[in-house]
Amino acid sequence: MLAFLVRRLLGMVGILFVISLITFYLFFAASGADDVVRLSCGRFCNDTMRDIVRHGLGLDKPLLKQYWIYMAGIFAGRNIGEKHCDAPCLGYSFSSRQPVTERITHAFPTTLSLAIGAVVLMIVFGVGMGVVAAMNRGKWLDKVMTGIAVFAGAFQIFILGPLLLLVFVHETGWLELPKYHPFTDDPVAWASGLFLPWVCLMVIHMAMYTRLTRSAMIDALNEDYVRTLKAKGLSKSQVYVKHAFRGALSPIVTILGVDIGILMAGTVITEYTFSLTGIGRLAVLAVEDSDLPMMMGVVMVAATITVTANLIVDFVYAFIDPRVRLS
């Protein structure tokens, strides 16, 4: 198990290194030092000011040296011009002149809250409906669950989001406009403020989880060990929940791990639709403002979250499937 952990961690470090190298080249080297200086300095800088900015950003150094300074700043901090950026330093935003780390840290709780609520609802409704459909295979309940999943899967966030706002906020007034409230300040306001985005994400993803769970459960129920358990006289609930469902967890965990990584890295369309300032919205604003340090920082954070989520999935496999532990 220790060797497995070491291999996965080394693979994670290697992936992040490649991503950081490619991203740094695309954002800074391919853009050209003059373009980066112009974006940072603005239109009203003279040649002297541009030289100062170029030196402060380290753009007068060789490319590999620039990359080394950037990566070293993540772990040890660095000086950018006359300012000192504490570790983990991802640079200063061109648009707001604030540390990129500070802005991402401020936006991350919103994205984290969106991901937590959406994942809980996806598991409860998506996986739950799939289990019910598999337990009633071929019956009317199976058709109802599958039909709901297919209908929900036809929606898109940019259609469902405004529709939910129109019905529950503007027409009925049952809910207020979505807004992030810290969970520690008011858990009720936290849940009510993010309820509509949660529902939107749940509906969009529910179809996949329902169909996947149903298919995996049916495959598990056709296994020899399940028939043996039935022959031994185990109750239907024990066979379905304790054994068949556990055997069907592997593909569900795979997709869930990918979705968690995507949600944690920033739900761009959802945050933009509901005017929530999370990592996804930061990415959009950074692109609109040509804010290269912010774009680089968001990509690095998103990549780290996604790779970490997949690493956690690998370890979850070992707990739900003994064959993985043996291998």
Q: Are residues 310 and 215 in the same domain?
A: yes
Give me 129's structure tokens: 């409906």
Instruction: Tell me the residue range of the domain where 265 lies.
Output: 100-326
Q: Are residues 8 and 115 in the same domain?
A: no
**Structural domain ending residue among the three candidates 28, 61, 85:** 85
Query: What pLDDT is stored for residue 108 in this prediction?
Result: 92
- 321 phi, psi to nearest 5 deg: -130, 105
Residue 240 lies in a domain: yes
Q: Are residues 317 and 280 in the same domain?
A: yes
Residue 14 lies in a domain: yes
Residue 74 lies in a domain: yes
Q: Which amino acid is at 146?
A: T
Residue 94 lies in a domain: no
**Structural domain ending residue among the three candidates 85, 120, 155:** 85
Q: Are residues 51 and 188 in the same domain?
A: no
**Structural domain ending residue among the three candidates 39, 60, 85:** 85
Q: Are residues 69 and 167 in the same domain?
A: no
What are the distances in angstroms from CA 227 to CA 132, 222, 247? Answer: 19, 7, 13
HSE-CB of 307 using CA atoms within 13 angstroms: 19
Residue 95 lies in a domain: no
Q: Are residues 120 and 74 in the same domain?
A: no
- 85 phi, psi to nearest 5 deg: -105, 115
Residue 77 lies in a domain: yes
Q: Are residues 212 and 281 in the same domain?
A: yes
Q: Are residues 120 and 252 in the same domain?
A: yes
Q: What is the pTM of this model?
A: 0.84
Give me 98's structure tokens: 């604030």
HSE-CB of 311 using CA atoms within 13 angstroms: 18
Residue 91 zone, left/alpha/beta (φ > 0; ψ -120 to 50; rest): left
Residue 91 lies in a domain: no
Q: Are residues 81 and 142 in the same domain?
A: no
Q: Are residues 157 and 201 in the same domain?
A: yes
Query: What pLDDT is stored for residue 106 in this prediction?
Result: 92
Distant-in-sequence contacts of 161-166, Cβ < 8 A, 24+ apart: 161/196, 161/197, 161/200, 161/269, 161/270, 161/273, 161/274, 162/273, 164/196, 164/199, 164/200, 165/196, 165/274
Query: What pLDDT is stored for residue 84 in this prediction?
Result: 82
What are the distances in angstroms from CA 307 to CA 15, 103, 123? Answer: 8, 22, 21
Q: What is the pLDDT along the chain (327 residues), one digit of tens a residue?
A: 677 778 888 888 899 999 999 988 887 766 655 666 666 676 667 777 777 777 777 777 788 888 888 888 898 888 877 778 888 888 888 778 888 999 999 999 999 999 999 999 999 999 999 988 988 888 999 999 989 988 888 888 888 999 999 999 888 888 888 999 999 899 999 999 999 999 999 998 888 899 999 998 888 888 888 788 878 877 777 787 777 887 788 888 888 888 888 787 667 888 888 989 889 889 888 888 878 888 889 999 988 988 888 888 878 777 776 666 655
Q: d(Cα 54, Cα 41) in Å, to the nearest integer?
A: 9
Could you tell me the CATH number of the domain that includes residue 159?
Answer: 1.10.3720.10
Residue 90 lies in a domain: no
Q: Are residues 41 and 152 in the same domain?
A: no
Q: Are residues 81 and 191 in the same domain?
A: no
Number of domains in the chain: 2
